[in-house]
Structures are given as structure tokens and as C-alpha cells.
Structure 1
Amino acid sequence: MPVCFMIMPYGRKATQSETGYGPAEIDFNALWDRGYVPTIKALGYEPVRADQDNGGLIISQMLERLYFADLVLADMTIANGNVYYEVGIRHAAQKAGCVLLAADWSKQLFDVAQLRTVRYPLPEGNITDDTAAAFQAKIKNGIASLRDGISPMHQSLPGYPANVDPTKATTTREQLAKLAAFQTRVRAVRAAPAKTRMQLAEILVASEGNPPENYPIALALLLLLRDSVDTPADWNVVLDFVRKLPSKFTDEPQIEENRAFAAAQAGNDVQAIAELEMLIEMTGPTPERLGLMGGRYKRLAKIARSDIEKKQNLAKAINCYERGMEIDLNGYYCSSNLPRLYRMRARPGDEERAQTTVRLTMAACERAMRLNVADEWQRLTLLAAAFDLRDPDKANEVADDVISEGQPSWKVNSVLVDLEVSVSQVSDTGQRTRLTAVIDKIKAG
């Protein structure tokens, strides 16, 4: 009987999905036993997966199974590193016979999100009889229809692995050389003095962005323009660039997120909220999207014309940030905004909530630094957390790092607003004086 090798997580795993978009955790062992095994057997294969009781397969055994299995199934519902790695090996090793599957509410990482995937219903994570039956009914035909599909590696490189057209390599080298030259020009703009950066960025856009040759160049130019902003009017330059992009680029979530952010910075918070709500409805919530939307409501609360309007927008901002924080506690963007908002709301228990979230933010930032996670907001977020913790020594230390990093002025100015709000909430005169001095140092730096 032909063999089907299953790539999937083991045991109960958290999904990090937002409430209402999927269960909090999944019993993958039950999904295997009650969902995958019966379906695989019904398709005429012998189901096999690595034995978690023996600590998993050693690398050579895993490679052998990925290569020799007649069919490989990969459950991509959660972002499991081992699963992604093994899918890549199978795509390179065999021309066909690899099928991706995922819950219908789940979101895959960018590269995999572009590949055909069998979607199945999974309303709860314990795998009841009804869930198992619906699961089996959905995936059986999907697996049968996709199992003979060509892997992206073999599809992109005809003749792979032994007879690839050598002219393909020449073309690729030329493309890489062109991309390297483009990235060098981007780095040169980023290294320029802040006052000249936007002008230089616009010159680069004029030569490379009418329209950009591909999506990576489009995104790189957008981020360069965003980070070169020096005056409020510069945000209209960012928006104008996005408006001129081909629809195949503007429909990408990261482009849409930055367009909404730029619209908000240009003064249209309501438009930004509408765009973010549409993006969440179409492709699901993420901490970044909910954080961006929370920021818009935070600004609307600040400029509200009545106490009722202020309270309504403050409540919406807190709700967005809390939802974003719950998706991923390591995604400190949302949690970092909550301490000041809790103190502003001042309900019973809000000070305790502020203390909890600020310590969570600091722990997440410091963890990311230890793991060398690249994030342009790390130091700035840690700085705001030090203020919210009312720790002048820590704030002064992190401020020196922020100044030496040379962050774009709009980012520093954005954080300065939060720092001033944080200082206004400090009752101790000595702490307030020392924290104010840190703000003055940042402004002077």
C-alpha cells in the first residue's frame, strides 16, 4: 500500500487566533486520529507521522520519509517552524505529491499563503464527532484534486534538479545584481541627513517606481518614503505613491496597512479606520492591524469635542489594543499603548491593569532583543514602557540608545507624545522632573 507521511504539530497547541476567528487551541493528536487517519486510509494510503513518544524523527529519518513517501500532507493551520521547513524540503525533493491543508479561519505566512491549500472547517479544537465528520468530508476531495500538482520549486525551474536551463541562471544573476544596486541606493537615502531624505527618496521613486518592477521594490519604496517623512505634508507624498501603484500591489495587506497609517498621519483617521476594518474583515485580524486601528481611536479621543465622544473613542481604542494583545503577547505594539489609556480611563482596577501590561511590554521587548528579533520599534517601545513604569534611570538609559539609533523624526515625535502623556500621569514630583528631563534630552538630541 502507498504511504502518506503527515507533517503537523503534536499535542495541544495554541492557535493565537482572535476570539471569534477560531478556537484558542487545537488538539492535533485528536485531529490526526479522528480526522486525518480515516481520510488517508479512505484515499488508499497508509498513514504515517513522526512518533512524538520517541522525541520525533532524527533528521536523516525525516529526510528519507519526506523523499520516499508517495504522498505528503502538511497541516499549516498554525505557524509551526518544523512544518514549514519540512514542506520546503518536500517541494524541493519531489515534483508532486505534497498537499497543504489549513483551517478555514487560519492565516499563513506570506510565501505559503500564495500556494493552493485545502481549507477545512474547524469550529472547535477538541474534535467532536460532528467536527471530525465535516473535516473528513471537506479534505478528501481536496487532497485528491491537489496531490498531483507540481511543486513550486519544479514549476519555477523547469528541468530541476539536473537539467535546469543555464540561461535561467544568467537572467537570475542579472536580476539579483539589479536588485543589489537598487538596495544600495535605498541605503544611501536612509543614510542621508533627515532634512534631505524625502527629496532623495522622491528622486529614487521617480527612477524606480513608475511603476515599480515588482512587489519587493514597491514595498521597499513605500517604506523608504514613510521613513523619510519630515513634515506633515510629506504624508501626502506617501499616499500619492500608493495611489499610483498597480492594483496587484495595492491589494497586498502590507501595502494596505501602510496606506491606512499614512492616511491617519495625514489627518484622516476615519478613513484609516474604515480601511483597516475592511482589511480585517477580508484577511483577518493581526496585532499590527488592531494596533493601528487602536491608534486612530486614541487620536480621535484626544481631539473629541465632548466627554461622551472622548469616552467612546477611548473605549474603542482600549478594545482594539486588548484584542491585539490577546492574539500575541509577544507582539508588544498593542500592550505598550494600554497603560496610559487605562490610567486615563481610571476605572477601579485600571492601575493594576496598567502595571500588568507595562511589565508585559518590557518583558516582550527584552525577549525580542535577546533573540535578535529585527524590529525598528523595539527601543522606542521600551522607552515608553520605562516612562509608564515611572523608572527615570531606565528611561534615561534607553533614551541614549534611541538617540544613537537616529530614528526617523516622525517616529520619535510620535513616541514623544506618548511620553508627555505618561509624565502627566505621574504624581511624584521628583519622578516627574527627572522624566521631563529625559524628554528634553530626546528633543535636543
Structure 2
Amino acid sequence: MTGLSAKAVWQDAGRRFALTGKGYRIMRPLCFVLMPFGRKPAAGGVMVDFDAIYGTLIRPAIIDAGLEPLRADEEMAGGIIHKPMFERLILCEYAVADLTTANANVFYELGLRHAVRRAATVLVFADGTGQLPFDVASLRGLPYSLGADGTPGAPDGDRKALAGRLRAARNERTDSPVFQLVEDFPDVQRQKTDVFRDRVRYSNRVKQDLARARKAGVDGVRSVAAGLGDIDELESGVVVDLFLSYRAVGAWDEMIALVDRMAPPLAATVMVQEQLGLALNRAGHGDRAERVLADLIDRRGPSSETCGILGRIYKDRWRQAVWEGESVLARGLLKKAVRAYLDGFETDWRDAYPGVNAITLMEICDPPDPRGRQLIPIVAYAVKRRMDRGHSDYWDHATLLELAVVGRDRAAAEAAAADALAAVREPWEPETTASNLALIADARARRGEALGWAAGIESLLLKRAGVQD
């Protein structure tokens, strides 16, 4: 026994006790909950009822784990609002952070928590409500089911899983990425800061070298990569830049090999796994690519990008079946491709990429799928909203071009083509768009319709790609 403090709290054998009017009671370790309040929208249009999530899932799980739940709105304190918040983040033995909707306040609080607490921070998120941001995607989060009304979909099972994770956290030595990755943190000496400063300069130089190498093609990127040394020793930004540089020059085998050399947390991120699926498909390993993306959807839920790449896999298989004269198989694969692209667009209507691909393939169907015409204004609105925010790139203009060709709007198609040609970054971009226009032209030719002006745009794109003189 350590004796009675001024606050009538004493400790014995690792347990804390408090003096009450009825005698002493065991004080459970505190578990602070970082999460939004009320109802908030998530990806896919779902309204998440966070108060219900807390009341029927998180709070009971914390109690089941033998802890005392504490949420910011459960105890009001005077003075500056940040002081009690900081105290709870710093002093509570445990914490649960709900990362659903990527709420800015929650992420700020999580960053502080990871900076001051080595362990006992458990992350949760609603399954199927979009991807976690890149910086936390590699952390071991626990998904929970969400019902159609935004409340817990499987409260009993998820409560049991969260309680188990909290009990396991007692034995976790480190779960903060800051303490895991920064040696001797927080005792960082001046020498280490100097090394960090040198590495930042080195990283910026490598990124500049890669930017120049991409213009030189595959051999240029390979030359830079050969001088980088051990991939495990490089910062993630450089590795990702190299990974995407290989993609820019079509070095699919190098992309695949690089994933095997990455640090496991980086290799497991959604972005890397999605691009691995793309590279595998381009390298002719469609079955493995499909498995990678299907596994990603099972673990992290569908997203516009994941489903879009999966749609491309089915689209390529459809083209191969057409080439081989397998007409029945081709029809089935075309339907699967349309479904995958539609799933991606319905996951996030702000992303026009899967939407325009679904529309293009619907136009190719025999007869054309009428849903495509209904989607045209929705996809056009999505891409124009993005452009209005000042984030336009080649694919935005290319999307408007494809939509105009499907809609037989020559003036709009020629205007979008001019903007797209001026925004080309990599040769494969206009080549991809030209390929889609060729598919539309072939389908219409089979139906006895010809759009000569669209063929002219296709030729300009191929010329810009360096495929046609």
C-alpha cells in the first residue's frame, strides 16, 4: 500500500482505489474515446450515428474490458476547452479512436496521443465507408459493421472484438507509430536532427532525379533506382515516388518486384495494393491481380479506385474473349466490368473515373444499356465540380471528351479534346482514351452508325501518345 493521497486515492498491486461515502471502490483504468458526435456523413452517402456507435458498441466494450469509458461530452469542465482535452489524451491509460469519416478533430487528437503515449491506443472504423487516409492506412484498425440506418450493424460481435482488442492492449509494448519508427524517441539528440536534415535534402534530390528520369523512359528510372540502395532504408515518400515512376513508364515488372522489397506496413497500404493490382494486370497476371483487389475489398471495403481497377481487369478479359471469338464469355465479362465500375462510382460519386468507364462500356453493350444515358449528366457534374475547385488534370478533360462522344456532341468533344491534349503528362494517358474511343466507334459501326469526327479526335490522341505519325 502506498498510502492515501490528498484526493483519497490509493494504489495496491497495480489497482487504484478511491474513497467514497460507502467506503473504498476499485477505480478502473480510464479509456478516453476520440470520435465525432451526432450524425455525420460518410463516403457513399451513409449518415453515421456516432452517438449510437458510442452508446451501443464502444462504451459497453470498454466496460466489458474492465475499463472506465470517458468521452469528451460526458464531463464538462470550466476554463479553456483544450486543457481538459489535452489532459485526457495524455493521462488516460487507454484510448479508442474512431477514424470513420476522417474527422479532422479526431485525427489531431490521435496525433497528439501517438506523440505522448507509447501504447494502448485502439483504432476502429466503420467498414465499407471509404478508405482510411494514407498516413494511418497501415495501422492495425478494427472495422465494425454499420447498418443501413447508420447505427451498429452487428453490435454483439463487434463489441466482443473491441473488448478483446482492449484487453490485448494491456500487453502491447508499443502501438504508436512515432515510438515504433523514430529511434530513441522522445530523446532525439542534435546529431539525429542533423541526419534528418541531410535525409530531407537527399529525398528532395531523388524526387527531382526521378522527375527527370520519367522523361527519359524506363532506362532512366531504372538508372535512378539502381543508385538508391536498400529500399528499407528509404523514406516512404521516395519509395512511393519510385513506385509511381515505374508506373509512368510502364515498367510493370519493376513495380511488382518493388512491392516485395518495401517495408511491410507500406506494402500493405491501400494505394500500394491497388497499384500492385494494376501492375499485375498490365503484366499479364490478371488472376493474381483480381485476388489482390478482391482481398483488399474484403479487408478495407470497396472504393472508387479499387473497384475501378478491378473493372479494368474484367474489361481486359472481355477484350481478350472478343479477340478469341468467345462471344458468350465476352458478354458475361462485359457485365462484370460494368458492375465493378458502377460499384466504384456508387461508392464515391465525386470520382468520375469509374463512372465514365461504366458509361463507355454500357454504350458498347448490344443493345446499349439505357442506364448509361442516365449517368452522363451525373458523371459530368462530378468532374465539373472537381474542375471548379481548381484540381483539373488530363483525366478530367478526357472524361468530358468520352462523355461528349457517347452523347454525340461534336462541339463539346472537340473542345474537351483540345484541353486534354494540352494537359497530357504521360504518353499512356492519351493512348488509353484513344482506345476507349475506338471501342465506341467499333460498337457503333456494328450497329450501322459512323462518327467520322470522333475518328479524327482518336487520331490526334494517338499522335500525342507517339503511337501514330
Q: Give the TM-score taking structure 2 as reference length.
A: 0.75
Q: For residues 223-265 of structure 1, what are the alpha-carbon distances to aligned partners after superposition, in whole Å with 9 as ceiling and x for unaligned?
A: 1122123xxxx545555x4487368465555444334323333
Provide the C-alpha distance between the structure 2 equivalents of 1:277 and 1:250, rounded to a whole number of angstroms.
Answer: 16
Equivalent residue for 1:8? Answer: 35
Q: For residues 6-35 of structure 1, what are the alpha-carbon distances to aligned partners after superposition, in whole Å with 9 as ceiling and x for unaligned?
A: 322333445547xxxxx9554222122333
Counterparts of residues 44-443 of structure 1 (less than 5 Å): 45=68, 47-50=70-73, 61=81, 63-69=82-88, 70-71=91-92, 72-92=95-115, 98-103=121-126, 108-117=132-141, 119=142, 121-122=144-145, 124=147, 131-146=154-169, 151-153=176-178, 156=181, 164-190=188-214, 192=215, 196-208=216-228, 211=231, 213-214=233-234, 215-229=236-250, 235-236=252-253, 238-239=255-256, 241-242=257-258, 245=261, 248=264, 252-281=269-298, 283-304=300-321, 305-346=325-366, 350-351=369-370, 353-373=371-391, 377-423=395-441, 432-443=451-462
SS of equivalent residue, structure 1 residue 208: coil
Q: Provide the alpha-carbon RMSD of the alignment.
A: 4.0
Letter of the aligned partner of 1:182 in structure 2?
A: V
Matched, 1:35 2:52: no
Bigger Rg, structure 1 or 2: 2
Provide the C-alpha distance between the structure 2 equivalents of 1:41 and 1:257, rounded to a whole number of angstroms.
Answer: 38
SS of equivalent residue, structure 1 residue 377: helix
Provide the C-alpha distance between the structure 2 equivalents of 1:135 and 1:320, rounded to a whole number of angstroms.
Answer: 28
Residues 310 and 395 (structure 1), Cα distance of their counterparts in 2 relative to 1, 3 Å cut: same
After TM superposition, give the deviation of residue 179 of structure 1 in Å.
0.7
Equivalent residue for 1:20? Answer: none
Residues 48 and 181 (structure 1), Cα distance of their counterparts in 2 relative to 1, 3 Å cut: same
**Is the CA contact (8 Å cut-off) linking 1:66 and 1:90 kept in structure 2?**
no
Provide the C-alpha distance between the structure 1 equivalents of 2:179 and 2:299, rounded to a whole number of angstroms.
Answer: 31
Letter of the aligned partner of 2:431 in structure 1?
A: N
Letter of the aligned partner of 2:459 in structure 1?
A: D
SS of equivalent residue, structure 2 residue 415: helix
SS of equivalent residue, structure 2 residue 227: helix
After TM superposition, give the deviation of residue 274 of structure 1 in Å.
4.1
Provide the C-alpha distance between the structure 2 equivalents of 1:247 and 1:88, rounded to a whole number of angstroms.
Answer: 22
SS of equivalent residue, structure 1 residue 285: coil
Q: For residues 391-434 of structure 1, what are the alpha-carbon distances to aligned partners after superposition, in whole Å with 9 as ceiling and x for unaligned?
A: 33332222222222232112211111112333456699999343
Equivalent residue for 2:467? Answer: none
**Is the CA contact (8 Å cut-off) linking 2:270 and 2:296 kept in structure 1?**
yes
Q: For residues 89-133 of structure 1, what are the alpha-carbon distances to aligned partners after superposition, in whole Å with 9 as ceiling and x for unaligned?
A: 33336666644233567753332233344x365363658899444
Letter of the aligned partner of 2:223 in structure 1?
A: I
**Is the CA contact (8 Å cut-off) linking 1:5 and 1:66 kept in structure 2?**
no
SS of equivalent residue, structure 2 residue 36: coil
**Is the CA contact (8 Å cut-off) linking 1:287 and 1:324 kept in structure 2?**
yes
**Is the CA contact (8 Å cut-off) linking 1:15 and 1:25 kept in structure 2?**
yes
Unaligned runs of 5+ in 1: 18-22
Provide the C-alpha distance between the structure 1 equivalents of 2:381 and 2:199, rounded to a whole number of angstroms.
Answer: 42
Letter of the aligned partner of 1:48 in structure 2?
A: R
Residues 225 and 99 (structure 1), Cα distance of their counterparts in 2 relative to 1, 3 Å cut: closer
After TM superposition, give the deviation of residue 281 of structure 1 in Å.
4.2
Provide the C-alpha distance between the structure 2 equivalents of 1:358 and 1:301, rounded to a whole number of angstroms.
Answer: 23
Provide the C-alpha distance between the structure 2 equivalents of 1:309 and 1:397, rounded to a whole number of angstroms.
Answer: 37
Provide the C-alpha distance between the structure 1 equivalents of 2:228 and 2:458, rounded to a whole number of angstroms.
Answer: 39
Letter of the aligned partner of 2:212 in structure 1?
A: A
Report the identity percentage.
24
Q: For residues 192-233 of structure 1, what are the alpha-carbon distances to aligned partners after superposition, in whole Å with 9 as ceiling and x for unaligned?
A: 3xxx3222112112222665643443332221122123xxxx
Q: Give the TM-score taking structure 1 as reference length.
A: 0.78
Provide the C-alpha distance between the structure 1 equivalents of 2:285 and 2:204, rounded to a whole number of angstroms.
Answer: 36
Provide the C-alpha distance between the structure 2 equivalents of 1:113 and 1:126, rounded to a whole number of angstroms.
Answer: 26
